[in-house]
């Protein structure tokens, strides 16, 4: 399968990428690792006229300790997130979940920023970063701005990024003492598939993969936990407020059942780690 014709531009810097995006407007699309966008282009579900390749922007690939948070460049690959010593120590949920994305070949190409900006509700990292209360940094015409991740996802593949705006950094606060228990559970048919349902837990925060058009915080579960409910009792609320889709892999009812089962497992696992 071959994508429809487009014009390929390689950006040498974030500045140049933004200038190219401004020049080509709505016809252009940023390409990071390409492991979401290229498959869509090969299926001709996406047909941008201009591709702005960001993979040469080494300046946006980093993981640095900022004291209370860790700053991750948007073009940091899943492989590097997975194997980061700093993340393994201070944000093990994120390092572990990055190692569950796709397969080794995909993790050698796919990037954390690409995954977040693509905003597929079936992706792992958007929900994980939601549980971690990350802040996103985007660069646009008016300079850089910070976006709390809770305000970022607007719908299926839809975010608050403006046209041409470039996601540059993800800031992830280190969990406070007492909120260090974590777990990530996902259920797939084959190892490399997207999650049918996934659950990320960090302390009292619980978020869901693929239970609506965006990643979701399981507010009713979090409220029950705050009231002292057991993992099983809290997890009984996991499907409340969700709007899971039915598709070839699962009915809505099955997804709701999975959300409760996986949330029970994740909360139990997190409690054992706290």
Partner 1 sequence: MKVDLTVNGKEITADVEDRMLLVHLIRDVADLTATNIGCDTTSCGACTVLLDGESVKSCTVLAAQAAGHEITTVEGLAVDGVMHPVQRAFHEQHGLQCGFCTPGMVMAIVSLLRENPHPTEEQVRTGLEGNLCRCTGYHNIVRAALAAAEEGAA
The residues of the shown chain that bind partner 1, judged by CB under 8 A, are 1-8, 10, 31, 34-35, 38-39, 42, 51, 53, 55, 79, 102-106, 108-109, 191-192
**What is the nearest approach in angstroms of partner 1 to the Cβ of residue 195?**
14
Token code pair at residue 196: 């049918």
**What is the nearest approach in angstroms of partner 1 to the Cβ of residue 141?**
27
* Distance in angstroms (rounded) separating the CA atoms of residues 78 and 270: 23
**What is the nearest approach in angstroms of partner 1 to the Cβ of residue 55?**
6
In the complex with partner 1, the residue whose CB is nearer, 12 or 155, is 12
In the complex with partner 1, the residue whose CB is nearer, 1 or 142, is 1
CA atoms within 13 A on the CB side of 271: 13
In the complex with partner 1, the residue whose CB is nearer, 87 or 235, is 87
Helix then strand count (H, E) for the chain reads 11, 14
Q: CB of 160 within 8 A of CB of 180?
A: no
- Residue 265's SS3 state is helix
In the complex with partner 1, the residue whose CB is nearer, 106 or 245, is 106
Q: CB of 200 within 8 A of CB of 266?
A: yes
Q: Give Dmax over CA atoms of the chain in angstroms.
A: 57
**What is the nearest approach in angstroms of partner 1 to the Cβ of residue 38?**
5
Q: What sign results for the dihedral spanned by CA atoms 9, 15, 19, 25? A: positive
In the complex with partner 1, the residue whose CB is nearer, 100 or 263, is 100
* Distance in angstroms (rounded) separating the CA atoms of residues 198 and 186: 4
In the complex with partner 1, the residue whose CB is nearer, 125 or 172, is 125
Query: If we measure between CA atoms, which residue out of 28, 175, 196 comes closest to residue 94?
Result: 175
**What is the nearest approach in angstroms of partner 1 to the Cβ of residue 108?**
5
**What is the nearest approach in angstroms of partner 1 to the Cβ of residue 137?**
25
């Amino acid at each position: 399968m071959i994508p429809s014709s487009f014009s390929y531009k390689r950006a040498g810097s974030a500045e140049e990428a933004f200038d190219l995006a401004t020049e080509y407007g709505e016809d252009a699309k940023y390409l990071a690792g390409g492991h979401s966008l290229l498959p869509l282009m090969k299926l001709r579900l996406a047909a941008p006229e201009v591709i702005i390749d960001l993979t040469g922007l080494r300046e946006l690939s980093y993981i640095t300790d900022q004291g209370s948070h860790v700053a991750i460049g948007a073009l940091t690959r899943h492989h590097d997130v997975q194997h980061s010593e700093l993340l393994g120590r201070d944000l093990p949920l994120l390092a572990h979940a990055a190692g569950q994305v796709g397969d080794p070949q995909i993790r050698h190409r796919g990037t954390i920023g690409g995954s977040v900006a693509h905003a597929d509700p079936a992706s792992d990292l958007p929900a994980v970063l939601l549980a971690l209360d990350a802040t996103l940094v985007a660069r646009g015409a008016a300079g850089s701005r910070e976006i709390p991740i809770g305000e970022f996802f607007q719908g299926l593949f839809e975010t608050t990024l403006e046209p041409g705006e470039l996601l540059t950094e993800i800031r992830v606060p280190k969990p406070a003492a007492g909120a260090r228990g974590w777990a990530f559970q996902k259920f797939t048919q084959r190892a490399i598939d997207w999650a049918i349902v996934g659950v990320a837990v960090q302390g009292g925060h619980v978020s869901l993969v693929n239970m609506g058009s965006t990643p979701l915080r399981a507010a009713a579960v979090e409220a029950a936990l705050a009231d002292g409910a057991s993992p099983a009792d809290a997890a009984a609320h996991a499907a409340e407020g969700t709007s899971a889709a039915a598709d070839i892999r699962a009915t809505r009812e099955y997804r709701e059942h999975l959300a409760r089962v996986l949330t029970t497992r994740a909360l139990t696992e997190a409690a054992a780690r706290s």
